[in-house]
Structure 1
Amino acid sequence: MLRRSLSRLSPLLSNGALRPLPPLSSLSLRPLRLSSSSQTLNPPTTPPPQEDDAINDLEGPAPRMTVSIDRSGLHNPPEHSHEASSDSELVKHLKSIIRFRGGPISVAEYMEEVLTNPHSGFYINRDVFGASGDFVTSPEVSQMFGEMVGVWTMCLWEQMGQPENVNLIELGPGRGTLMADLLRGSSKFVNFTKSLNIHLVECSPALQKVQYNTLKCAEDVLGEESSTKRPISGISGAPVHWHAALEQVPSGLPTIILAHEFYDALPIHQFQKTSRGWCEKMIDVSEDSSFQFVLSRHPSPSLLYLSKRCKWASAAEVEQFEHIEVCPKAMELTEQIAKRISLDGGGALIIDYGKNGIVSDSLQAIRKHKFVHILDDPGSADLSAYVDFASIRHSAEEVSENISVHGPITQSQFLGSLGINFRVEALLQNCTEEQAETLRTGYWRLVGDGEAPFWEGPDEQTPIGMGTRYLAVAIVNKRQGAPVPFE
């Protein structure tokens, strides 16, 4: 099946078109090691507050009480309210939530506010991708990544029976580079591109504008008698729609979903094993007004997700961990994807860095391509965690018997099986020496493992391959059979 599908796509692999790329020596990928700022917390020893004995000892009818309100503070505010504060708006917001709750917040809630707060979230108001941003993703490294994902998408479309209308959904499309390379690479396959209705799930207004430009969108009037306009991609002629969440994308059409480096930014809950059992790791404000990690005093609702995750693992696997991370949002999103594919047909491709098992203490913060402490200047750094691919599998399989989950396989296996070796050879035949260096470097970053052996530049710019650190999983409707290259 793979050989037959790839033979039909040979024009894509042999076409020597090369889009302009920045020199890869100026780029660095999001680091992929565990955070060095993790810590083990001791359970709190302070006993919980006791009920007032005086109230418990009252007998007989309660005395009549008079309530008075002191409004003088409205006209005479405390002196310290006018003191200047160096805290950012997001820090003030986080501290106000903690004060309002009267206690700490979960790591998941902290992540969600830091990354997607409508006013100050890391992803909301700026472009964080590329050499001038905080990290570089695979599509920014080389056009070959988006082209190979396009090969996978067209192969799946053929297995689906080549439907005339299909929803192509990308979750968290970044700058739109992956989608643009996919559309550009598949432009010769007219029946495929004509079938596409593109849906981008993006919560950042700033990135939506970047994606609009990357896909070369223009406004098109719907019908001769209509004044309604919709964006059309100038690359393929496909209509483009933006949504804040997957559930907003209309259902009812065969669907192909792409999620590249999306799951790693979903908020996680962290748990630590203690003498009194598993306690959730929380974030509180210390006496010096800085943020600190603490352990929950009482069982938290998210322990239900920890229990669910541990049931999917063996007792021996759970026993070896002192810390466990669980991502309820990833479970819920996977269930939503599986339900849609079960009903509408199609499939989903998930590519991210992670492991095929329980994840322990992987949360990390990255600012300008360097690690920083997770609690340092919230909103100025990207937060991400390893993806638990075993949890994705179980979440999908529990939803419906009509879907099947394939993988994970390494990114190197995925791209190699789809023909990236042939593609890089074709591109090398029609490029300058500088472009050739960029291609070789990008190729190594995508499929290599560790430091590139051919590198002759500065040590701090040595290309690091992520071919084995990134994993790929496919979720498809069973009627279609196993997708390439997961057979």
Structure 2
Amino acid sequence: MLRRVVLQAATHRRRRPFLPSSIYAFRQCSISASSSSSSESSQNSNSSFVEHLEGPNQSTETTAQSSTTISIDRSGLYNPPDHSHQPSSDSELVKHLKGIIKFRGGPISVAEYMEEVLTNPKDGFYMNRDVFGVAGDFITSPEVSQMFGEMVGVWVMCLWEQMGQPNRVNLVELGPGRGTLMADLLRGASKIKKFTESLHIHMVECSPTLQKLQHCSLKCTDKDDADGNLEKQIISKLSETPVSWHATLEQVPTGVPTIIIAHEFYDALPVHQFQRASRGWSEKMIDVAEDSSFRFVLSPQPTPASLYIMKRCKWAEREEIAKLDHIEVCPKAMDLTQNIAKRISSDGGGALIIDYGLNGIVSDSLQAIQKHEFVNILDNPGSADLSAYVDFEAVRHSAEEVSEDVCVHGPITQSQFLGSLGINFRVEALLQRCTEAQAESLRTGYWRLVGEGEAPFWEGPNEQTPIGMGTRYLAMAIVNKKQGIPVPFQ
């Protein structure tokens, strides 16, 4: 998620489990009544599987004469290595992934691998630890400077005013990390009482560990429900605003105007990768090699995800497709966008998406980051963050396809977004009342948020040179047409 701000000046390079049945289609299936086929087929267990179906209470002799034999040619399928009783150094997640591949009898998609690595309930990268900040694996914009959350808060308040300042608003954040963005937003908006009193905060987070960190960041406390309900209400002391947690967006109550923030959330959604082959686009899969390591393979037949690459290619120019050898598609991003658009269409409001990506087809962007450095995607799954570029054009088409009542604006660069909302004035105001050390931190944070490339003013160690995210990150808004054009997309 920084592509994420990687602390070293590295060159920025380019779940649900499913069974692509077409990959594992049986090559041959014959049914015959024979007493000898069992012994013949058992001589070559790698190429066929023979099963005898016996009726009850039959003698061995009768069974041998009348048994039905089903012979299935498995020569084209994955053939796992013989089981070894030697101790294994594999992590529990690696064992789990290999177990899925063995059970399926063939490789899994990159998307399924990515989802297990990131959100496996027991061993997923995000599930049981704090991965953010200098001591973690990557830094996100809210962790860089308080100004980021404050500027997002300005955007939310402006949209609220365009909505007619409703008395009740669901403010939803998808994948809130430590809760830093929402905390800075509420601190900045705390003096606008009419606004904060209208809010109910909904944090969509599947990680119990991160939920606890968010609870702490928002300075939450329990409060007896004023309506006499048995359940106590959780209140953020930053703005006396109620807060709720949910595992998915679908769990957030409907029927209330909704503002959704998705910052560095789309990039962690699982992607399917396709490679051009002689037979057309083939999906890249992940299998177990003879040395028991993970490896990439190509599907020999169309997979269910092929429907999404066909859909994505319809949204692109033929010339754009012709020059590509790899394509990534993210079905979950398309589906999530449509759910957001439907909710905004029915309830009113809007959504802000900020992430790194392209306003066009993404070719081959999946990467792994561990301790602020790029590592191999297939090495030590669960120890590194996996993320991919967001296809903003696919996001736009997905929203427009599902509803005529919403309008999509952008994308524009993060630098344009933050600059138009007044981050320049904010940093000047903060610099007037801070220490020299704080001023240095503000200048560094400002450059990382709106700059491009390496900061020219840096005098510290080369490996800590601030890398600007201003043009690598894009901002897009999806709003109900009744709200008009949101700032700063006019």
TM-score range, shorter chain: 0.7 to 0.9
CA contact (8 A) 1:34 1:361 kept: no
In 1, Cα distance between equivalents of 2:331 and 2:233:
35
Which residue number corresponds to residue 190 of structure 1?
193
SS in 2 for 1:472: strand
In 2, Cα distance between equivalents of 1:94 and 1:47:
18
What is the 5 A alignment of 1:430-441? 430-441=433-444
In the alignment, structure 1 residue 33 sits paired with structure 2 residue 35: no
1:160 to 163, 170, 175: 163
Which residue number corresponds to residue 51 of structure 1?
28
In 2, Cα distance between equivalents of 1:165 and 1:48:
54
1:458 to 457, 461, 464: 461
CA contact (8 A) 2:34 2:65 kept: no
In angstroms, what is the RMSD of aligned CA positions?
Answer: 2.4
Would the alpha carbon gap of residues 417 and 330 (structure 1) be closer, same or farther in structure 2, given more than 3 Å must change?
same
In 2, Cα distance between equivalents of 1:459 and 1:428:
25
In 2, Cα distance between equivalents of 1:223 and 1:191:
19
One-letter amino acid of the counterpart of residue 169, structure 1:
V
Which residue number corresponds to residue 320 of structure 1?
323
Alpha-carbon deviation of 1:225? 4.3
Structure 2 unmatched ranges of 5 or more: 15-22, 36-63, 70-81
In 1, Cα distance between equivalents of 2:34 and 2:315:
50
One-letter amino acid of the counterpart of residue 161, structure 2:
E
Alpha-carbon deviation of 1:320? 1.0
Alpha-carbon deviation of 1:28? 2.5
In 1, Cα distance between equivalents of 2:268 and 2:453:
24
CA contact (8 A) 1:29 1:137 kept: no
SS in 2 for 1:239: strand
Deviations 1:175-208 (A, max 9, x none): 0000000000001100000000000000000000
One-letter amino acid of the counterpart of residue 479, structure 1:
K
TM superposition score normalised by structure 1 = 0.87
SS in 1 for 2:290: coil
One-letter amino acid of the counterpart of residue 321, structure 1:
L
What is the 5 A alignment of 1:316-465? 316-465=319-468
In the alignment, structure 1 residue 266 sits paired with structure 2 residue 269: yes
Which residue number corresponds to residue 216 of structure 1?
219
In 2, Cα distance between equivalents of 1:57 and 1:277:
42
Alpha-carbon deviation of 1:143? 0.2
TM superposition score normalised by structure 2 = 0.86
One-letter amino acid of the counterpart of residue 305, structure 1:
Y
CA contact (8 A) 1:346 1:477 kept: yes
Sequence identity percentage: 72
In 2, Cα distance between equivalents of 1:224 and 1:55:
72
In 2, Cα distance between equivalents of 1:243 and 1:48:
39
In the alignment, structure 1 residue 83 sits paired with structure 2 residue 62: no
In the alignment, structure 1 residue 235 sits paired with structure 2 residue 234: no
One-letter amino acid of the counterpart of residue 431, structure 1:
C
Alpha-carbon deviation of 1:84? 1.4
Which residue number corresponds to residue 71 of structure 1?
none
In the alignment, structure 1 residue 311 sits paired with structure 2 residue 317: no
Structure 1 unmatched ranges of 5 or more: 1-25, 36-45, 68-78
One-letter amino acid of the counterpart of residue 480, structure 1:
Q
Alpha-carbon deviation of 1:57? 10
Alpha-carbon deviation of 1:49? 6.9
SS in 2 for 1:404: strand
Would the alpha carbon gap of residues 331 and 49 (structure 1) be closer, same or farther in structure 2, given more than 3 Å must change?
closer
SS in 1 for 2:445: helix
SS in 1 for 2:241: coil
One-letter amino acid of the counterpart of residue 320, structure 2:
E
SS in 2 for 1:479: helix
One-letter amino acid of the counterpart of residue 65, structure 1:
S
CA contact (8 A) 1:30 1:137 kept: no
Alpha-carbon deviation of 1:52? 6.5
One-letter amino acid of the counterpart of residue 28, structure 2:
E
One-letter amino acid of the counterpart of residue 217, structure 2:
T
Alpha-carbon deviation of 1:63? 4.7
What is the 5 A alignment of 1:271-290? 271-290=274-293
What is the 5 A alignment of 1:88-107? 88-107=91-110
Alpha-carbon deviation of 1:32? 7.5
CA contact (8 A) 2:359 2:392 kept: yes
Query: Aligned pairs, how many?
Result: 440
In 1, Cα distance between equivalents of 2:449 and 2:246:
29
In 2, Cα distance between equivalents of 1:173 and 1:181:
12
Which residue number corresponds to residue 70 of structure 1?
none
Deviations 1:265-284 (A, max 9, x none): 00000000011110000000
SS in 1 for 2:256: coil
Which residue number corresponds to residue 132 of structure 1?
135
In 1, Cα distance between equivalents of 2:435 and 2:24:
70
CA contact (8 A) 1:260 1:351 kept: yes
In 2, Cα distance between equivalents of 1:430 and 1:275:
64
Alpha-carbon deviation of 1:294? 0.1
One-letter amino acid of the counterpart of residue 12, structure 2:
R
One-letter amino acid of the counterpart of residue 145, structure 1:
F
Deviations 1:36-87 (A, max 9, x none): xxxxxxxxxx9997426795999xxx952299xxxxxxxxxxx966531100
In 1, Cα distance between equivalents of 2:404 and 2:30:
58
Would the alpha carbon gap of residues 29 and 149 (structure 1) be closer, same or farther in structure 2, given more than 3 Å must change?
farther
In the alignment, structure 1 residue 145 sits paired with structure 2 residue 145: no
One-letter amino acid of the counterpart of residue 331, structure 2:
P
